[in-house]
Structure 1
Amino acid sequence: MSLKFLAEDDRPREKFLLKGKNALSDAELLAIIMGSGSRDESAVELARKILQSVENNWHHLSRLQIADLMKFKGVGEAKAISIAAALEIGRRRAAQEIPERTQIKSSNDIFLLLSPFLSDLQTEEFWAIFLNQNNRVLGKSQLSSGGINQSVVDVRILFKAAIDQFATALVIAHNHPSGNLKPSTEDVKITKQIAEAGKILNIQLLDHVIIAQNSYFSFADESML
């Protein structure tokens, strides 16, 4: 549906979905926070009026008290609190340092990251770690779980997850509940399949680690990639 056919209160949300958050004006963002306007004004019109009262400056807006916000027709206590809470979130975000992502430098880093999830299991699970171009962790995910001696992963699901994370590299890992770290024929086969698929998508497979309770096997360390 075209934006022009929507009620004005709904347009900022639709615009957010269609064009992304950067496409929204300050008034449209504030309108989304408020949710609705008044009988006489849409949420966007009300938001525009509020912002104009503080010279369109978010810092000035953050100094207004709940009572100040409620002076605007259409802004009750709930809307005023929503505005104040959103501005406080922004303040806290600005005050925080961006946490540095864990960097994978060796197979031991992989083992330390995933062993808490895999080392004591009685059945096999298959996990992936998604990395950026500096091999810093974007995310990790369990992709499958299986029986005592087998956990099969769908390569399509693996790379969909990698693409969703905007990963440029990945690491795969699974556990051997038996404690035997020797790769099975299936382990070798799936590793080759993933490595070849990664070449096509330009997402490099850096390692495949098999994890037991207190030790691990690395395909990269053993020159098997």
Structure 2
Amino acid sequence: MPIEYGPREKLLKEGSEALETSELIAILLRTGTNGKDVLETSKELFNKFGGSLYKMSRATFDDFKSIKGLGDVKIVTLMAALELAKRLVKEETVILDPKLTSPENVFQYCIDMQSYPQEIVRVIFLDTKLKVIGSKDVSKGTINSSMAHPRDIFREAILRSSTGIILAHNHPSGDPTPSKDDIELTKKIKKAGELLGINLHDHVIIGQTFYSLRQKCKEIGWDNV
């Protein structure tokens, strides 16, 4: 049997957990490139991203396209698999913690935001029991800043009859430390929510790690954020 089917056989005999990451990638690629078998190709590809699925998940189509011998079908297959992985993490997070009671879980729910090249503001909507009923990205900014108006944030919350929201946005630099604008936005959204009867439970900034404004501001009081 051709070598490119080796990882498939191993998966069938030993289970997916027994495969190395490069072997799982080989199954997605199906065939090798440039005279190399699929295992050599997958290992080379994985090493291009420093042996990191996190770095690979941040890659764009053009990033993959720059790798010699990697065709459109292979690239699309890889990107689809990586996107499924992100969605699985989000779904699993809500199943385990339907109320997203910790900023760590908000971070996991929004882990896909790490790969965005621009700042994105996301609103997570909560029902009367504070369970997640959905989320929506309400604004897209430049690589350095993002603008979000209270009307954009609360319009969807009102339509969904949300009693609470969690705000999240990413810092493409990877540093989640809030800027003055981030703090001012939090103040503005919190006050607007109080007028509408929709509670802002937290504002979590997503980077290589996360920053919870509610958690970090306990010393001065969340009401004073």
| CA offsets 1:73-123 (integer angstroms, 9 cap, x no match) | xxxxxxxxxxxxxxxxxxxxxxxxxx979221111111111112x011111
Q: Counterpart in 1 of 2:116?
A: 121
Counterpart CA distance in 2 for 1:138 and 1:160 is 15
> Residue 217 of structure 1 aligns to which amino acid in structure 2?
Y
Q: Counterpart in 1 of 2:136?
A: 141
Map 1:57-96 → 2, pairs under 5 A? none
How many residues align? The count is: 125
Please state if 1:177 is matched with 2:178: no
Map 1:131-210 → 2, pairs under 5 A? 131-210=126-205
Q: Counterpart in 2 of 1:54?
A: none
Cα deviation, residue 179, structure 1: 1.4
Counterpart CA distance in 1 for 2:204 and 2:107 is 7
Counterpart CA distance in 2 for 1:217 and 1:142 is 19
RMSD between aligned residues = 1.7
> Residue 200 of structure 2 aligns to which amino acid in structure 1?
L
Moved over 6 A (4+): none
Aligned counterpart for 1:217 among listed residues 211, 214, 224: 211
Q: Counterpart in 2 of 1:6?
A: none
> Residue 110 of structure 1 aligns to which amino acid in structure 2?
V
Counterpart CA distance in 2 for 1:184 and 1:201 is 26
Contact 1:105/1:135 (8 A) holds in 2: no
Aligned counterpart for 1:111 among listed residues 103, 107, 111: 107
Contact 2:168/2:205 (8 A) holds in 1: yes
> Residue 203 of structure 2 aligns to which amino acid in structure 1?
H
| CA offsets 1:56-84 (integer angstroms, 9 cap, x no match) | xxxxxxxxxxxxxxxxxxxxxxxxxxxxx
Unaligned runs of 5+ in 2: 1-93
Counterpart CA distance in 2 for 1:108 and 1:135 is 17
Aligned counterpart for 1:130 among listed residues 125, 134, 139: 125
More helix, by proportion: 2
Secondary structure in 1 aligned to 2:214?
coil
Counterpart CA distance in 1 for 2:144 and 2:98 is 30
Secondary structure in 1 aligned to 2:172?
coil
Secondary structure in 1 aligned to 2:175?
coil
Counterpart CA distance in 2 for 1:110 and 1:165 is 20
Q: Counterpart in 1 of 2:64?
A: none
> Residue 107 of structure 2 aligns to which amino acid in structure 1?
F
> Residue 189 of structure 2 aligns to which amino acid in structure 1?
I
Q: Sequence identity of aligned pairs in percent?
A: 34
Q: Counterpart in 2 of 1:36?
A: none
Cα deviation, residue 125, structure 1: 0.6
> Residue 180 of structure 1 aligns to which amino acid in structure 2?
D
Contact 2:114/2:174 (8 A) holds in 1: no
Unaligned runs of 5+ in 1: 1-98
